[in-house]
Amino acid sequence: MEKIKKWYGVLMGSITEQNKAYASLFIIFADLFKYPEKENYNELLNGEIDKQIEQLSRLAGHPIITSFKDEIGSYEEIVQAFNDCFLGITTPFAPPVESVYKVWTTDDSFQVPLKNQKGHLLGDSALHIRHIVQALGLEIPTEYEMMPDHLTILLELYSYLNQEGLISEAEQFKKDHLDWLPDFYNSLIKIERNQPYSNIVLKLNEVLKQ
Amino acid sequence: MQKISRRSFLKIAAGVGAAAAVPLTLTMDFKVFAQDIQDDKVTKVPSLCNGCSSTCGLWAYVKNGRLWKVEGNEANMKSMGKLCARGHGVAYNVYDPGRVTQPMKRVGDNKFQPISWEEAFQEVGTKTRQILDEHGGDKFVWACHGGKETYAAKFLDVIGSPNYITHYATCFTAKTNIWDKMCGGMYNPDFDNAKYMIFAGRNYAGGIIPAAMKRITEAKEKGVKIIVVDPRFCELATIADEWIPIRPGTDLALYLGIAHTLISENLYDKSFVEQFVFGFDFFWMYNKDFSAEKAAEITGISADKIKELARDLAANAPHAFLEPGYHGLHAHYKNSNETAMMNVIINALIGNFWREGGLFPAASTTFGHPEDTYFGPKAEMGSRADGAGVAGQYPLVEAGRGIPQRIPDMIEKGQAKVVFFYHYNPLRSAPEPEYQKKIKNADLVVSIPCDWNETSVYTADYILPENHYLERMEHPKVINGNIYWAAAQVAARFKALDATSSSLDLLDILKGFTTAYGINNLYGFTIEEDMAASLGPIGISPDKLKEEGCIELRTSVLPKIEGITFNTFTHKIEFCIGAWKKEGFIGVPTWISPLVEPQGENEFRLIHGKQPWHSHIMTTNNPYLMAITEDYNGTYMWMNTERATKLGLKEGDWVTVANDIATKTTQVHVTEGLHPDCVWVPSTYGTYSDKLENGYGKGFNYNDFIPARVDEKTGHVMGQECIVTISKGGK
Ligand code: SF4
């Protein structure tokens, strides 16, 4: 009985080809914030990623054109950029994590100085993502449990909601959890070696705003 | 098109089908969710602070899996309900995005690739195996801070490596070595009942233990006389009755002068010495000419003052002590060993051991341990690569502590091939960072840190992040030492905060590594089972410990007159160390000059110490504590007013500090509160890992200026045997 209660709810909407293309588009963007394996680098370099983004965004009804292939240098350079931007062997760095760009908690009862500050992991937004992931019966890898609101996970989750036809949920999700990209961009451009990542964020924001 | 891509992070949870509907349990609206979780309950979990080695007891208050508040545990004899600023700052580090958030593999200079734990274990395990199969298990080194269970001993035992090395040679190794040899272990002062206290080389208000400061302050309010001997007007001196600014490096002479007065004026406790001291005559034979007047010439303290200190100690004995000291004097001078010996001797001369208001050993207990689960082969134990305790090398150094500053040398000589660093950062905390950087020449370097420390960034092939102390449960700890307390206490870290599995408990890291290395079931127990097995023999359950946070055992160390015995060969306090005589030394302390002396107008001895809001280099990246640094110009180097005037310097001026090892620039704090022979810097700054964003590039560290020397008797670094020249300008 409990199980039935738990799963009784709004039936999924119908899934169109357009939904599917839109969903796939964000899987591609999600991949770009992971560590650049050689294979992904080659896909970027030979224009495969730009081509897929162009096709999927057109099918999805949100056409954008990217030219990431022209913005990346050697493989070593993109690895260096990933280090500088996200791991930050040089400072400043810009973790692709939502909590870092938002006030840690709105719960005023907390008695730690970070409660009203930005710049910390596992803020309210991370707890919400963890909640959504669990409620939908999904899992995130152990390496990301401390930052369930990592941009890759957010984009995969947004993609999943669209893929499953949960359109109003996806809209709400976008409004709540993908609104920090301008702040993220501003942090990125303070880093000397910010390409291709700052451009990827610009394009991502562009498609989300359409 | 695929639902979720091949590299997808998100997965459908095992046993759950794809969602057929939006579950009712889902709150999609973030604002509603954030409001809902405000109703969650606050619970509290006990832990032990990781801000310094005092391990104060604390309660972590937790709401929706996150830290809601942290406060000191009243019952814990180190915290007595209070945490210092560092304790608070370090607790908040748990949410620092600058932590190493998952295992990392070096892919170039300053370049790392995040990898999964599975990959990390496989690669580190396999590589270690290959190297040790070729070169022998004794080429493995485990280097750590020391002072807690690391479980590494089991692995070392199987592979035949004795190379467990701690940081103590850079901290206070002369003290523990000497006290152990002379009286069988450490003794701690009874702040509550003393009438007269001398502190030298220990600033409890800088290197804080909250309960110690509480008790010293209470003693002061009762009218107890407090004397602070320190080249610097340190924080403890601000509450003392008297600050005695000694010439740095000459505490040994002061102690010899005090002992001379006690003996020549017949002020010492003859009965105690007759019953409990071995080697008194031998000591006196060598030192009967070292009068207070002679001490005065060396220390810059008048003979009258030295005699007064001796007479006051004797008048208040046994309710008086010369505090045994800590980092300040016990790894930093050529005469540190003899200084430690004289500390024992002065306290023995006033007969304060086991006496109310005097010194007592730490109350302790013995834990059990989980049953062995590994019954496979073990390699024959090799000999120590650092030479600690080895005949013909450093026979008098405690093997249990080792000589960490020798690690680059061991690597160069092929004596160390694989080095694991566990919460230890020698590239910043050991002498001469450029020399320490040679650690990267080892075949394999693995660092197990929390943050991106210098050792990880510059030398590690793999970084395996351990989780924050509030995220883990640990082997229990006996809480004792530093302060007299009649009963041992038992406490532990319990897991307070939500799993942040991007980092792991040390035990899990070692399980993963050793399994991949090819040793099965070396650690066939969980941390819960380890805790239960450890507490079993003393009749405490983990649940009870978790409920109470800290449990005090039966009173076991009380003042006594009868039945006093010392854990030495003669069962007495040995003024003459037999092991030293065996190695060709005199065996008793005599005056030894510091190794180096400042000569010219612009030469100074470089000394260092702790600031109340930092724990050496451990806290340099903490934003809350660095904000205090900003407020107080905490990175400034102190200089005596008269010397500064001669160099044309005023408060805040930039100066260049140089010797043949390093050149750095900093700003000066001009003060009467420092002996003219020296300049003083906090031991905290000089972070050069720019990943440590908050601390990077602020101030400099004394280690930049000292070579990696090894004292022949106790192995310490002689960290204040360092002369620098100072000139105006440089920024
Ligand atoms: S003295 Fe301060 S930093 Fe050290 S353990 Fe106690 S509270 Fe933590």
d(CA A123, CA B635): 32
Which of B25, B34, B42 has its CB closest to that of A124?
Answer: B34
Residues B521 and B394 in one domain: yes
* Minimum-distance CB partner of A153 among B9, B63, B108: B9
Task: Give the C-alpha separation, B11 to A141, whole Å.
Answer: 8
pLDDT tens digit string along B598-648?
999 999 999 998 888 766 666 677 777 787 888 888 899 999 999 999 999
CA-nearest residue to B64 within chain A is A127
ipTM of the complex: 0.91
Domain presence at residue B586: no
Alpha-carbon torsion angle B726, B206, B470, A117, nearest 10: -70
Q: Is B435 exposed, middle or buried (0-12, 13-18, 19+ CB in 10 A)?
A: middle
The answer to whether B61 contacts A106, with C-beta atoms less than 8 Å apart, is no
Q: What is the CATH class of A2-209?
A: mainly alpha
- Provide the H-helix boundaries in B59-105: 85-92
At residue B74, what are phi and psi to the nearest 5 degrees? -60, -40
Structure tokens at B612: 């109340």
Q: Whose CA is nearest to atom 4 of ligand 1?
A: B52
**B282: in domain:** yes
Residue B98 is predicted with a pLDDT of 84
pLDDT of res. B255: 98
Is B4 in contact with A156 (Cβ distance < 8 A)? Answer: yes
Length of chain B, in residues: 731
pLDDT at B16 over 90: no
The string of pLDDT tens digits covering residues B119-167 is 999 999 999 999 999 999 999 999 999 888 889 999 999 999 999 999 9
Question: Ligand 1 centroid vs B84 CA: distance in angstroms?
Answer: 6
Q: Which amino acid is at B326?
A: Y
Chain B: closest CA distance from residue A33 (Å): 11
Q: How many CB pairs under 8 A join A and B?
A: 227
Mutate to test the interface with A, among B2, B11, B44, B95 (most CBs of A within 10 A): B95
Query: In chain A, positions 74-113, which contact chain B (CB-CB < 8 Å)?
Result: 76, 79-80, 83, 87-93, 95, 97, 100, 104-107, 109-113
- Distance, in Å, from the CA atom of B478 to the CA atom of B366, rounded to the nearest integer, reads 9
Q: State the pTM of this model.
A: 0.92
Contact A24 B1 (CB under 8 A): yes
| B208 pLDDT tier (thresholds 50, 70, 90) | confident
Percent of chain B whose predicted confidence (pLDDT) is above 90 = 81
Separation in Å, CA B225 to CA B141, B190, B211, B247, B314: 47, 14, 19, 22, 13
Over the range A79-101, which residues count as b (16 or more CB within 10 Å of their CB) and which as e? bbbbbbbbbbbbbebbbbbbbbb
8 Å CB contact of B28 and A131: no
Choose the final residue of a domain: B293, B327, B361: B361
Of the two residues B52 and B527, the one the predictor is more confident about is B527
Which CATH number does the domain housing residue B696 bear?
2.40.40.20
> How do residues B494-541 score in pLDDT, each as one tens digit?
999 976 657 899 999 999 999 999 999 999 999 999 999 999 999 999
Angle at B371 between CA B370 and CA B374, to 5 degrees: 115
State whether residue A114 is helix, strand or coil: helix
- Regarding whether B296 and B259 lie in a shared domain, the answer is yes
For residue B681, being part of any structural domain is answered with yes
B3, B20, B66 ranked by CB distance to A122: nearest: B66
Whether the CB-CB separation of A206 and A198 falls below 8 Å is answered with no
pLDDT at A13 over 50: no
Probe ligand 1: pick from B203, B204, B209, max atoms within 8 Å of CB? Answer: B209
**Which tens digit of pLDDT belongs to each residue from A40-92?**
899 999 999 999 999 999 999 999 999 999 888 999 999 999 999 998 666 78
| Residue B50 CA to ligand 1 centre (angstroms) | 7
Task: Give yes or no for a contact between B295 and B260, defined as CB atoms under 8 angstroms apart.
Answer: yes
Per CB-CB distance under 8 Å, the chain A contacts of B121 are none
Asked whether residue B99 is domain-assigned, the answer is no
pLDDT tens by residue, B661-692: 999 999 999 999 999 999 999 887 777 666 66
Question: Both B306 and B327 in a single domain?
Answer: yes
Is there a contact between B64 and A92 if contact means CB atoms under 8 Å apart?
Answer: no
**Distance in angstroms (rounded) separating the CA atoms of residues B92 and A120:** 9
Q: Please give the residue range of the domain that contains residue B292.
A: 187-361
Local structure of residue B86 (DSSP, 8 states): H
Of the listed ranges A13-27, A150-164, B296-310, B317-331, the least confidently predicted one is A13-27
Same domain, residue pair B274 and B149: no
* pLDDT over 50 at B97, yes or no: yes
| Contact state of B24 with A83 under an 8 Å Cβ cutoff | no
Residue A12: what pLDDT? 43
Residue B578 falls inside a structural domain: no
A150/B498 CB distance under 8 A: no
In total, how many domains does chain B have? Answer: 4
Are residues B1 and B108 located together in one domain of the fold? no
Q: Which ligand 1 atom sits closest to the C-alpha of B208? A: 1
The reply to whether residue A112 touches residue B69, judged by beta carbons under 8 angstroms, is yes
Determine contact, residues B243/B329, Cβ cutoff 8 Å: no
> pLDDT value at position B126?
98
Chain B residue with Cα closest to A28: B5
Closest Cα in chain B to A108: B38
Question: Helix, strand, coil proportions of chain B in percent (round to 5)?
Answer: 30, 20, 50
Cβ atoms B606, B720 nearer than 8 A: yes
Give the pLDDT confidence score for residue A2 in this predicted structure.
34
Residue B149, judged by CB atoms within 10 A of its CB (0-12, 13-18, 19+), counts as: middle
pLDDT of residue B76: 95
- Residues B150, B276 within the same domain: no
| pLDDT band at residue B5 using 50, 70 and 90 as cut-offs | very low
CB contact under 8 A, B33 and A131: yes
Judgement on whether residues B132 and B220 belong to the same structural domain of the protein:
no
Q: Are residues B245 and B337 in the same domain?
A: yes
| Contact list, A23 vs chain B (CB under 8 Å) | 1
What one-letter code names the amino acid at B223?
G
How many Å lie between the alpha carbon of B439 and the closest alpha carbon of chain A?
Answer: 19
Is the domain of B619 the same as that of B646? yes
Quick check: helix, strand or coil at residue A12? coil
Instruction: Grade residue B284 by pLDDT with cuts at 50, 70 and 90.
Output: very high
B596-628 burial code (b ≥16 CB/10 A, e <16): bebeeebebbbbbbbbbbbbbbbbbbbbbbbeb
With 70 as the cut, is the pLDDT of residue A157 above it?
yes
Are residue B548 and residue B619 in the same domain, yes or no?
no
Nearest to B522 by CA among B121, B129, B157: B157
Cα B615 to ligand 1 centre (Å): 9
Query: Same domain for B528 and B382?
Result: yes
Q: What is the pLDDT of residues B692-722, one digit of tens each?
A: 666 666 788 889 999 999 999 999 999 999 9
SS3 A110: coil
Q: Which residues line ligand 1 (CB under 6 A)?
A: B 49, 51-52, 54-56, 79, 83-84, 86-87, 208-210, 615
Comparing CB atoms, the residue among B10, B66, B117 nearest residue A142 is B117
- The residue among B44 and B101 whose pLDDT is bigger is B44
How many A from CA of B672 to the centre of ligand 1? 30
Q: Is the predicted pLDDT of residue B17 greater than 60, yes or no?
A: no
Looking at the complex, report in whole angstroms how far the Cα of residue B551 sits from the nearest Cα belonging to chain A. Answer: 27
Q: Are B430 and B481 part of one and the same domain? A: yes
CA of B724 to the centre of ligand 1 (A): 32
In A, which residues are within 8 Å of B470 by CB distance?
A: none
* pLDDT-based confidence at residue A1 (cuts at 50, 70, 90): very low
pLDDT at A9 over 60: no
For residue A139, give the H/E element and its range: strand A138-139
CATH of the domain at B233: 3.40.228.10
Q: Do A112 and B29 touch (CB under 8 A)?
A: no
Could you give the CA distance from residue B299 to residue B281 in angstroms, rounded to a whole number?
A: 25
Of B78, B327, B613, B618, the one to substitute when testing ligand 1's pocket (max ligand atoms within 8 A of C-beta) is B78
* Chain A residues close to B61, C-beta within 8 Å: 111
Q: What is the pLDDT of residues B649-664, one digit of tens each?
A: 999 999 999 999 999 9
In a domain, B65, yes or no: no
According to DSSP, residue B395 is labeled: T
Q: How far apart are alpha carbons B491 and B535 in whole angstroms?
A: 10
Q: Is residue A112 predicted with pLDDT exceeding 80?
A: yes
Confidence of residue B180 (pLDDT cuts 50, 70, 90): very high
Nearest atom of ligand 1 to the alpha carbon of B58: 7
Restricting to A residues 5-64, those with a Cβ less than 8 Å away from any Cβ of B are: 5-12, 20-21, 23-24, 27-28, 30-31, 34-35, 40
